[in-house]
Structure 1
Amino acid sequence: MSAAVHQLLLSIEDELKALEWWQCEPPAVSALQSTQPFCLDTLSLPQWLQFVLLPRLHQMLQAGQPLPNRIAVYPMATECFKGVDENPARLLEVIAQLDEALTGLPVEREA
């Protein structure tokens, strides 16, 4: 499973870059210390993916730690990406696949 999760993390990174949502400069340290889910009060969802979720999961993989098995990023992503000019369909699909890989449960995709 770890190889599949690693590949999904790389795919999320690729999609963020393709959508031009990848940032070269990290946000302020204080923005990363939010206690809100997805750091909603300090980061956009693409920033949270890039600076919180991806590094955390990569670190867990490298350390051989157990990965979270209760995760639901897809519902949040579909809500956050409504009405954006770019087409995040591929990014949403990869996020759904990551949720499925970690939870072992199917994700109900929006039509």
Structure 2
Amino acid sequence: MRSQVAELLFDIEAALRQLEMWDETPPPAEALASTQPFCLDTLSFAQWLQFVFIPRMKELLEAGLPLPTSCAIAPMADEAFRGMQLPLGDLLDALESMDRVLTQGGE
């Protein structure tokens, strides 16, 4: 399962870059300190993926710490990207796969 998660993190990053949603400059520390789910009040969903989700998941993988046992990122992505005229298929597929792998333990 851990290798699947690592591969999906790579896929999410690649999709964000392909969609030109990858920021070269991180947001201010205050924006990352939000207590709202997905940092809704301070970051776009793509920024949350890049600066919160991906780094935290990589930290868990590298430290050998337990991964979350449930995940529901894809529904938030559907909402956040609603109405965008972009080819989001690869990104949404990777997020749905991440939800499934974490929730089902890679089954």
What do residues 26-56 of structure 1 show as CA deviations (whole Å, max 9, x unaligned)?
0010000000000000000000000000000
For residue 65 of structure 1, what is the aligned residue in structure 2? 65
For residue 49 of structure 2, what is the aligned residue in structure 1? 49
2:102 alignment partner, SS class: helix
What value does the CA root-mean-square deviation take over the aligned residues? Answer: 0.9
Q: Distance in 2 between matches of 1:61 and 1:27?
A: 24
For residue 3 of structure 1, what is the aligned residue in structure 2? 3
Q: How much does 1:100 deviate? A: 0.4
Structure 2 residue identity aligned to 1:98 = M
Paired residues, what number? Answer: 105
For residue 103 of structure 1, what is the aligned residue in structure 2? 103
Percent identity for Structure 1 against Structure 2: 49
What do residues 55-92 of structure 1 show as CA deviations (whole Å, max 9, x unaligned)?
00000000000000121000000011111121211100
For residue 33 of structure 1, what is the aligned residue in structure 2? 33
Structure 2: gaps (5+ residues):
none
Q: TM-score, normalised by structure 1?
A: 0.92
Q: Distance in 1 between matches of 2:14 and 2:81?
A: 17
Structure 1 residue identity aligned to 2:69 = N
Structure 1 residue identity aligned to 2:44 = S
Structure 1: gaps (5+ residues):
106-111
Q: Distance in 2 between matches of 1:27 and 1:85?
A: 25
Q: Distance in 2 between matches of 1:92 and 1:72?
A: 12
Query: After TM superposition, what 4+ stretches of structure 1 lie above 3 angstroms from structure 2?
Result: none
Q: Distance in 2 between matches of 1:37 and 1:78?
A: 15
